[in-house]
Amino acid sequence: MLSMLLISLEQGLVFAVLALGVFITYKILDFPDLSVEGSFPAGAFTFAKVVTSGGGLIAGLLASLLVGALTGLLTSTIFSRLRIRPLLSGILTLTLMYSLNLRINGKSNVPLFSTPTLFRENIVGNILLLLVIVLALKFLLDRFFRTQIGYMLLATGDNETLVSGLGEKVNRYKTIGLMLSNALVALSGAIMAQNMRFADINMGSSIIVVALASIIIGDTFLRKSKKIKGTTRAILGALIYKLIGGAALYLGLAPTDLKGINALIVIVFIAYNQFSPSAWWTRFRKNILAVPERGKMHVADSSS
Amino acid sequence: MLQIRHLKKTYNAGTDNELKLFENLSIDFEAETTALLGPNGCGKTTLLELIAGRKEQDEGAMCLQGKDITADGERARAAYIARVHQDPSDGVAPSLSVLENLALADHKGKPFTLRKLVRKERIDFYREKLAELGLGLENKLSSLVQDLSGGQRQSLSLVMATMKEPRILLLDEHTAALDPATSQTVLEKTRELTARHRILSIMVTHEPRSALRYADRIVVLSRGSVAMDVRAETISERELLETYLHA
Ligand SMILES: Nc1ncnc2c1ncn2[C@@H]1O[C@H](COP(=O)(O)OP(=O)(O)OP(=O)(O)O)[C@@H](O)[C@H]1O
Ligand SMILES: [Mg+2]
């Protein structure tokens, strides 16, 4: 039980980096970016390439950030220059990245056993280290969204007319957002590869669902509170999401059921977000129990 | 000051829905307030979009103070043009606070960098600007714009548009969403601002009375050309209404 908790926490923190990245495109820019399915393994493979050819840990992480940013740039270029819709731009990028990812190391699975890694034997130590990384990233992102460029990113997602009215290029900010987002996603992929001790071509598949699940769960968490920042929500969402998945495994579900559970988690949380308990209770009382609404006369309602 | 020559604009050219909006429109605007009237769909908004560079004309030229600006895009023109749109949501970022919106407008024309956007020392100045409108917006600096009413949003848009004293101000029915009292305040404010800074202002309106009261010149647009072009003081409300109704 405890080890299930710790492992979920550890992986949740890795996915928190992913969720922070997708938060930028999905929540801020309102740009449904599927290219993360390509940049996540790209981060892993780039990291694997650097460390297996003798590069250090930091070099590997920086390289994965860079490759992620370039992936975002590719999507942004396809989107803005060729005027292709966001979804298709992302799909084109992820398809292209599939082949490119296989080229990076020349194979679809790279074991990482005796290469440099963030992870030690002590899982509590690992969790603390990841926590520091995630909090530092969150702090930097929050700072970034207080800068002039950061606010323009927020404004771009909000109202493009305003941005061009200010004499600024909308696509410039979309590009910045996509690059930043995919850089974080690739970083998350690089950390994931170290955690699993291999980079694999399939590690990106349906990762977008994981990211969206985290963000949606984060939004659900104390949803009335306006004080919690979006970045905090994304992190909390990733942690809760992983705990739910961990619990499912603990309760005896097969690892192959995980993807199905992922999708179910998203569906359940979206349904919950659309569901308002008090309105439901009122309807339930009125329609099912036929209790007249308090303070109102009970009139047979022919319309419902 | 702003000269528009032989403007031609066709929507959906070559299709069944082809609409020849302007075929050869020439008109000059001076550094004063011109009220632009005309029936729905006569092309008022389109004319403003063409001036702002948001849409491109098929043919024609534009000069500002003798300088040819025909080739300038929207971003280049944004340096001297500000707009308040017909839709109150078009001029603001709804998920940001009033203060953050003002700070964005305050930064117009300067490069956006990794420095902090909101500067505390400007807050008093923003408060003053908002207070002039008398809507109590100065006490709502930290409210999100999405929680403001349409009229409050539109007033904020006006403050944002005029913050950097543009040379040209394009107002597209900017008081249509406001109640009569607020509308009057905003129109008076607009008038005062444009007069004080000698801004070339083009104000689209459907109300002959506000046109006469707040503009120096009245232009009625109809079927792609100028149906009437007079000084505001030389015409009565009745005459204007007549022309407008038969435009
Ligand atoms: N993007 C567009 N594509 C095709 N037709 C358009 C487009 N924008 C406007 N039109 C058409 O051009 C005509 C002029 O529209 P415009 O919005 O300029 O009118 P307006 O004078 O501002 O009207 P209103 O008083 O209703 O605001 C209308 O018939 C409209 O349908
Ligand atoms: Mg219009």
Task: For chain A, give the secondary structure using H, E and C.
Answer: CHHHHHHHHHHHHHHHHHHHHHHHHHHHHCCCCCCHHHHHHHHHHHHHHHHHCCCCHHHHHHHHHHHHHHHHHHHHHHHHHCCCCHHHHHHHHHHHHHHHHHHHHCCCEEECCCCCCCCCCCHHHHHHHHHHHHHHHHHHHHHHCCEHHHHHHHHHHHCHHHHHHCCCCHHHHHHHHHHHHHHHHHHHHHHHHHHHCEEEHHHHCCHHHHHHHHHHHHHHCCCCCCCCCHHHHHHHHHHHHHHHHHHHHHCCCCHHHHHHHHHHHHHHHHHHHHCCHHHHHHHHHHHHCCCCCCCCCCCCCCCC
Nearest CA to ligand 1 atom 8: B46
Q: Is residue A104 part of a domain?
A: yes
Residue A292's pLDDT is: 63
Q: Which residues line ligand 1 (CB under 6 A)?
A: B 11-12, 19, 21, 38, 40-46
Q: Is residue A181 part of a domain?
A: yes
Other beta carbons less than 10 A from residue A236's beta carbon: 21
Nearest CA to ligand 1 atom 17: B45
Residue A30's pLDDT is: 93
In angstroms, the separation between the Cα of residue B246 and the nearest Cα of chain A is 34
Q: Is residue B122 part of a domain?
A: yes
In angstroms, the separation between the Cα of residue B42 and the nearest Cα of chain A is 23
The dihedral over CA atoms of B235, B238, B240, B244, expressed in degrees to the nearest 10, equals -170
Q: Do B83 and A165 touch (CB under 8 A)?
A: yes
Least CA distance to B106: which residue of chain A? A166
Residue A162 belongs to what domain range? 2-204
Whether the Cβ atoms of residue A173 and residue A154 lie closer than 8 Å to each other: no
For A92-124, b/e burial (b = at least 16 CB within 10 A) is bbbebbbebbeebbeeeebebeebbbbbeeeee
The domain total for chain A is 1
Which site among B117, B122, B147, B163 would you substitute to test the A interface, given the most A Cβ atoms closer than 10 Å to its Cβ? B117
Global ipTM: 0.88
Q: Is residue B65 part of a domain?
A: no
Compute, in angstroms, the gap from residue B233 CA to the centroid of ligand 2.
25
Q: Do B78 and A158 touch (CB under 8 A)?
A: no
- A72 vs B: CB within 8 A: no
Q: Is residue A160 part of a domain?
A: yes
Q: Is residue B131 part of a domain?
A: yes
Residue A249's pLDDT is: 84
Nearest CA to ligand 1 atom 3: B11
State the Cα–Cα distance between residues A284 and A281, nearest whole angstrom.
5
Per-residue pLDDT of chain A (304 residues; tens, 9 = 90+): 788 899 999 999 999 999 999 999 999 999 999 999 999 999 999 999 999 999 999 999 999 999 999 999 999 999 999 999 999 999 999 999 999 999 999 999 999 999 999 999 899 999 999 999 999 999 999 999 999 999 999 999 999 999 999 999 999 999 999 999 999 999 999 999 999 999 999 998 889 989 999 999 998 877 777 778 899 999 999 999 999 888 888 888 888 888 888 888 888 888 887 777 777 777 777 777 776 655 544 444 444 3
Q: Do B96 and A164 touch (CB under 8 A)?
A: no
- A229 vs B: CB within 8 A: no
State the Cα–Cα distance between residues B69 and B80, nearest whole angstrom.
11
Structure letter (DSSP) for residue B31:
S
Q: Is residue A232 part of a domain?
A: no
Residue B101 belongs to what domain range? 94-149+159-164
Which site among B51, B56, B74, B75 would you substitute to test the A interface, given the most A Cβ atoms closer than 10 Å to its Cβ? B75
Whether the Cβ atoms of residue A219 and residue A63 lie closer than 8 Å to each other: no
Ligand number nearest to the C-alpha of B221: 1
Q: Is residue B239 part of a domain?
A: no
Other beta carbons less than 10 A from residue A212's beta carbon: 21
Whether the Cβ atoms of residue A187 and residue A133 lie closer than 8 Å to each other: no
Q: Is residue B82 part of a domain?
A: no
Q: Do B116 and A148 touch (CB under 8 A)?
A: yes
Report the interhelical angle of B150-162 vs B98-106 (nearest 10°).
Answer: 20
Q: Is residue B185 part of a domain?
A: no
Q: Do B54 and A166 touch (CB under 8 A)?
A: no
Integer angstrom CA distances of residue A247 from A62, A241, B203: 34, 10, 63
The domain total for chain B is 1
Q: Which of A155, A143, A274 is nearest to A216 (CA)?
A: A274
Residue A11's pLDDT is: 94
Compute, in angstroms, the gap from residue B5 CA to the centroid of ligand 1.
20
* B119 against A225, higher pLDDT: B119
- A162 vs B: CB within 8 A: yes
Give the nearest partner residue to B78 out of A147, A151, A167, using CB atoms: A167
Give the residue-averaged pLDDT of B206-225. Answer: 90
